[in-house]
Structure 1
């Protein structure tokens, strides 16, 4: 756009335009992107090299990145080299120093190439993935943008003013493009607002046909002289967009169902089945999969990493229907950072975490171990076989559980005050939809704004929002503030400690509309109430569709997977013991004619298998990883990008899952013995 402006307007204006677009109008999520920062340093932006992938070129143009094909190619090459060279180094170490047989290297070395290949593909296609993600987020911002334009058009049928109003109060890429359109109109690059909207409509039409149709309706409403018919056209624009978005949400949610089931099969169910089969089968087939480093590589690195990458890919398709309020650390209702308030005392969370850790370690090591798993060297010193096979199960479990409890208590203690405040703000947002309807009804009766605000505060006595409205009314009455200062004054404003974008943005829209009169403000409030109601319906619809998946995942995370893996870890000891006892026989079977030669069991492979304690540690780490991964996936599905909800979920669920795992393993080993 900057090059086009230089051809059609004087140079000074073009420079001013370019500077403004670069410094103010370009969205933060584009300039601060890691890929864009790296690619800008690799090659020339004016390189003559053409783009071979048209889809990649379209994605880069959509993002507004000033990148050449050379820079994109160099970025891909850089990441391939950065990942391939370490793999070559590891391969050389394995070949010359590991002592692995040739057949084992044939399995291991190709696996090392999977990492560089996957990373290279991801980096090469990243602009497309990123553009698709922004398109999806932007499409979900369409109702808000259209509603702001409709509000402005109902107040004053002027397209330029509607563009300015929507760009000022909207968010995301569409809002930034509206700002650019507004500037281009002022610079004379477009002859009219109609021309500018036509360009925007056809650009976004391939991603949201409803948005294109809504812009055309808004554009056509200008030529309608009858006010009632004009309002009907504008209302239809909003209705069509909302219906289209609801259909899109259904499609997005349904697209996530099947991949989520695949994540369960590949990330949880298949490893559960293979945890015993893989070592036993590798012993029979003389393969290296029973060795310690292979089991660690598969179960503690590759499976969790692959499941995490797959989960991230699924979550990238999740519609961002709601953004949870961000709670700052310095909020006056919070205790000191990393402290929890008990009574009137702020206690450091780290002290509670250390106390809980020591108590857990004492319980497992000095209570459970001697009573539930006594050392046979003390209780049965004559039983040499029992002494040889004894493992200090609860001592190992005590170390793990004490670490888990430490992290969980620290996460819970440092997160709980912020999560409690966040829940309060979210309740305020839920009540806000009703409150603005009440406020609109009072303003519609031509009541003064302070009286309408005070009435709303008295009506919502059970809501935390009541105090906000009451402070607003007092600021207007007692301090003589304007309505804007009553809400937003940095020292006394009622919203100064309410970190909600929804509430603040809506109030700013209302304040702008009140400058045109109380009746106009009442109309805007009614429109915003409908918008918030529809946004809530979309959020509930997506959650309802995905509830079945998340319910299944939740039960797996803290119940099924820990129990099954605990039992499996105990069975491994029994099966390996049976194989070791059979390893000394010449044949396995009922008789010489029906037997299976012992050659099927490789004594060296049996010897290389990890012992029961080591195998238990491997499974313990896997249970921790897969539980956290499933909680991450469930929380992201239900809550979106809400780190407080994720921390609370981990703090509450992981200790339960690990406790079930250890007691299932102990119970199964006791029964097997």
Structure 2
């Protein structure tokens, strides 16, 4: 099932398809890019994105070379445009090739946030009645998020004869998300292996083990991520706060001793530092593991109201009166 595309995603795909037409070179995309597009289900091949990311460098170089010439003709400082001419093509190439990976990571983080609940629903249903089709239907009906929709798709694929049974379709689902979560991968195969158990107690232990595995995987990854934040935090603090303060404090001393430190140089340094910290922070945040999704409980009373008996009142006037 193809996902509904947003404004940026839609124009990104169109832009890459147009650029890819200008190159017939055989470019082998990375495995990570292929996995990302498989997860996103976008209507574009990884080879097209790989070609587009190379082609985009040429017009980018031409544009910034033109700006560099204009800056020289008008007597502007060409240093900024020289730096941009060197950096912009690489940045454009990086954006086109990395954007699908970043979007896939975001999708996976949201989807896997519901995975412990999905496994728990599947295991609970199987404990009551060891029928995989019924348990899959239960998850498809009451589960939340993308994985629950994939369970619904799996059930439909079996009904239309695309797969012989759910025992052939569930492993496909496990492999799809197993690239991103080993815990979910193991939990799915543990649940499938429970059908080989004849002893009811062993079956129940396998179901419990499947839930334990995915929760342990969540906790371990969160601990690893937390432990890895020490150096990035120091780096962001140093370049985002300490270095600008040092530069501002040193500027009067340099001027006092006759040194030349122009405001343009300071502005460029601060701008580069700010942009660098911003992008580095984004990289660190994209490494974060999935987090448990809090179940949204619907309210009987709208926000800002209270109910007395069967009547609803605005909370603010009632609070003022009291």
* TM-score, normalization by structure 1: 0.40
Distance 1:228 1:57, change over 3 A: closer
CA drift at 1:227:
3.8
Within-5 A mapping of 1:214-613: 214-277=187-250, 281=254, 290-299=261-270, 301-319=271-289, 321=291, 333-334=303-304
CA distance in 2, matches of 1:108, 1:316: 29
Contact 1:256–1:317 (Cα < 8 Å) also in 2? no
Query: Is the Cα contact below 8 Å between 2:167 and 2:192 reproduced in 1?
Result: yes
CA deviations 1:124-152 (Å, max 9, x no partner) are: 22222333343344443321210111122
Contact 2:113–2:293 (8 Å) recurs in 1? no
Mapped to 2, the partners of 1:48 and 1:93 lie a distance apart of 33
Q: Which residue in 2 is equivalent to 1:400? A: none
Shift of 1:81: 6.2
The answer (yes or no) to whether the contact 1:39–1:75 under 8 Å persists in 2 is: no
Question: Do structure 1's residue 123 and structure 2's residue 96 form an aligned pair?
Answer: yes
The higher radius of gyration belongs to: 1
Q: 1:180 aligns to what SS in structure 2?
A: helix
> What's the CA shift for 1:78?
7.2
Query: How far apart in 2 are the matches of 1:40 and 1:139?
Result: 29
Structure 1 unaligned spans of 5+? 1-20, 335-420, 422-463, 475-491, 495-673
Cα distance 1:142–1:117, how it changes in 2: closer, same or farther (>3 A)?
same
- Higher helix proportion (structure 1 or 2): 1
Aligned length: 304
**Structure 1 residues 231 and 325 mapped into 2: Cα distance closer, same or farther (>3 Å)?**
closer
2:132 maps to: 159
After superposition, the Cα gap between the structure-2 partners of 1:247 and 1:49, relative to the gap in structure 1 and judged at 3 Å, is same
Q: 1:199 to 1:124 in 2, by over 3 A?
A: closer
Change (3 A) 1:77 1:283: farther
SS of the residue 1:222 aligns to: helix
Q: Deviations over 1:428-458 (max 9, x none)?
A: xxxxxxxxxxxxxxxxxxxxxxxxxxxxxxx
Contact 2:3-2:42 within 8 A present in 1 as well = no
Q: Distance in 1 between matches of 2:210 and 2:76?
A: 71
The match for 1:39 is: 13
CA distance in 2, matches of 1:233, 1:324: 26
Q: Is the 8 A contact 1:145 1:166 kept in 2?
A: yes
**Is residue 27–residue 51 contact of structure 2 (8 Å, CA) maintained in 1?**
no
What SS class does the counterpart of residue 130 from structure 2 fall into?
Answer: coil
* Separation in structure 1 between the aligned mates of residue 65 and residue 257 of structure 2, nearest angstrom: 31
1:60 Cα deviation from its structure 2 partner: 1.9
Any idea what the Cα deviations from partners look like across 1:482-526, whole Å, max 9, x if unmatched? xxxxxxxxxx9x9xxxxxxxxxxxxxxxxxxxxxxxxxxxxxxxx
Distance in structure 1 (CA, Å) of the matches to 2:54 and 2:140: 39
User: Which residue pairs with 1:434 in the alignment?
Assistant: none
In the TM superposition, residue 309 of structure 1 has moved relative to its aligned partner by 1.8
CA distance in structure 1 between the partners assigned to 2:213 and 2:294 by the alignment: 27
Shift of the 49–157 alpha-carbon distance from structure 1 to 2, 3 Å rule, reads: farther
TM-superposed CA distance for 1:33, in Å, is: 6.7
Residue matched to 1:53: 29
CA distance in 2, matches of 1:324, 1:139: 12
Residue deviations 1:411-439 (CA, integer Å, cap 9, x gap): xxxxxxxxxx9xxxxxxxxxxxxxxxxxx
**Cα distance in 2 for residues equivalent to 1:292 and 1:206:** 49
Aligned match of 1:665: none
